[in-house]
Amino acid sequence: MRKPKKQKKPLNDLSRSLTSFDPNQTLTAVVELSKKNWLVAGIIPGVERQPLKKLAADENELLKLLERWRAEAEKAGHKITRIAVAFETGRDGFWLARWLSKRGIEAHVIHAASVAVSREHRRAKTDRLDTEQLMRAFLGWLRGERNHCKMAAVPTSAEEDARRPHRERETLVGEQTTIINRIKATLARLGIRYFDPKLQKAPERLEQLRTPEGEVIPPNTLAELKRDVARKQFVVDQIQQIEKARLEQLKQAPKAGPNLMILLLVRVIGIGIETADMLVKEILSRNLRDRRAVARYGGLTGSPDESGSQRREKGLARSGNARVRKGMIQLAWRFLEFQKESALAKWFRARTENNRSSRKKMIVALARKLLIALWHFVRGGVVPEGVVLRPAH
């Protein structure tokens, strides 16, 4: 097995800043975002006070405030060469970071869970205290010190848009399951248990259904069932539209970056187009540093708990991408069926054949190894040992 090719792009290191920090020429600000108001805290070189300003949720007002603080610093004799702004991840996403970057402002998005908080019981929590914690963490990150906080990689609009189809499909599949379960529950109340709402002729068969007493379905219940069946069919049509559009995109541009990775993954027997699309768009197309970063982002690393002589494992850290974690564990079970002669499947069987109770724990380890192997496969063309591929088209 040969080593994968070296990355052409510079690798992300978001645990610390790689740019030297000059506090006399850097205007630092953090923003506590909410729906209606933004609370902005700043550190202005040459100005003793540390201003705290509440604004309406308006990016133009934020830009005016930063320019005003820049003017104050220059009036105090400090030429500002860098404006660094940070805020936490949340419902606003990354649009503000992209908007500020286009205007020459260095914008960073902090992982909310990476900021250390007080462990006091019933600790005080206000927007002002939150900005203080953010500022302390952000300053440590700017100084290049590790573990103060972690930054999220800001995706482009195109990268965010590419993830929408498979995420929407996941939501629609969940809605479809909810509707089917509701139809079955309604029929079960009437004693009807052998009706399949997924059949193509389900709407016509509703009229013919009879209760165990031989009676027809009551009119209001029948009307409700017809609406649910129509709603299910509408959701199915939307799922099919998404799947058709994805296949058309792969057909039109098969060699475009992510599309080439998807077509390469689909060659692995046991991996379908939906799983391949999710893995590429969520993790494999990202510029991750090494295999440890891949496993960590996939949410497949452990969370050890050590204190003195006590040693125990609390389970998965669950700090990564939940979609990748769920998909990889499902794929690991499927991989054991379709790739029985692969080295990874043999590794799993050797460690579980005498201890069947450990299969659920070991499947997570297999999912981690498989994810790293697939990362090497799409990045450097390294085929996992013993894995059978479909013929290339």
Overall domain count for the chain: 3
One domain, residues 361 and 273: yes
Angle between helices 359-380 and 343-352 (to 10 degrees): 170
Task: From 119, 154, 189, give the residue that closes a domain.
Answer: 154
One domain, residues 80 and 32: yes
Neighbours of 114 (CB within 10 A): 19
Q: Is residue 42 within 8 Å of residue 27, measured between CB atoms? A: yes
355 falls within a domain: yes
| Listed residue (268, 329, 335) closest to 298, CA to CA | 329
Q: Is residue 148 within 8 Å of residue 160, measured between CB atoms? A: no
What is the pTM for the complete model shown? 0.85
One domain, residues 37 and 139: yes
Rounded Cα distance between 25 and 28, Å, is 10
94 falls within a domain: yes
One domain, residues 217 and 309: no
Neighbours of 199 (CB within 10 A): 11
Residue type for 154, please?
V
Neighbours of 387 (CB within 10 A): 22
Task: From 203, 231, 250, give the residue that closes a domain.
Answer: 250
Q: Over its length of 393 residues, how does the chain's per-residue pLDDT go in tens digits?
A: 455 455 455 555 688 888 899 999 999 999 999 999 999 999 999 999 899 999 999 999 999 999 999 999 999 999 999 999 999 998 888 999 999 999 999 999 999 888 888 888 888 889 899 999 999 999 999 999 988 888 998 999 999 999 999 999 999 999 999 999 999 999 999 999 889 999 888 888 998 999 999 999 999 999 999 999 999 999 999 999 999 999 999 999 888 889 999 999 999 999 999 999 999 999 999 988 889 989 999 988 888 888 888 888 777 877 889 999 999 999 999 999 999 999 999 999 999 988 888 898 899 999 999 999 999 999 999 999 999 999 876
- Burial bucket for residue 318 (CB in 10 Å: 0-12, 13-18, 19+): exposed
| Residue 242, C-beta contacts closer than 8 angstroms, at least 6 positions apart | 165, 166, 168, 169, 172
One domain, residues 246 and 262: no
Count Cα neighbours of 190 within 13 Å in the Cβ-side half-sphere.
22
Q: Is residue 218 within 8 Å of residue 206, measured between CB atoms? A: no
Q: Which helix (H) or strand (E) holds 30?
A: strand 26-32
Return the SS3 of 294: helix
392 falls within a domain: no
76 falls within a domain: yes
One domain, residues 263 and 364: yes
Domain containing 218 equals 163-250
42: domain CATH number is: 3.30.420
212-244 confidence digits (pLDDT tens): 999 999 999 999 999 999 999 999 999 999 999
One domain, residues 54 and 134: yes
Q: Which helix (H) or strand (E) holds 32?
A: strand 26-32
56-109 confidence digits (pLDDT tens): 999 999 999 999 999 999 999 999 999 999 999 988 889 999 999 999 999 999
11 falls within a domain: no
One domain, residues 176 and 148: no
Q: What are the DSSP calls for 69-80, one per residue?
A: HHHHHHHTT---
309 falls within a domain: yes
One domain, residues 141 and 53: yes
One domain, residues 74 and 194: no
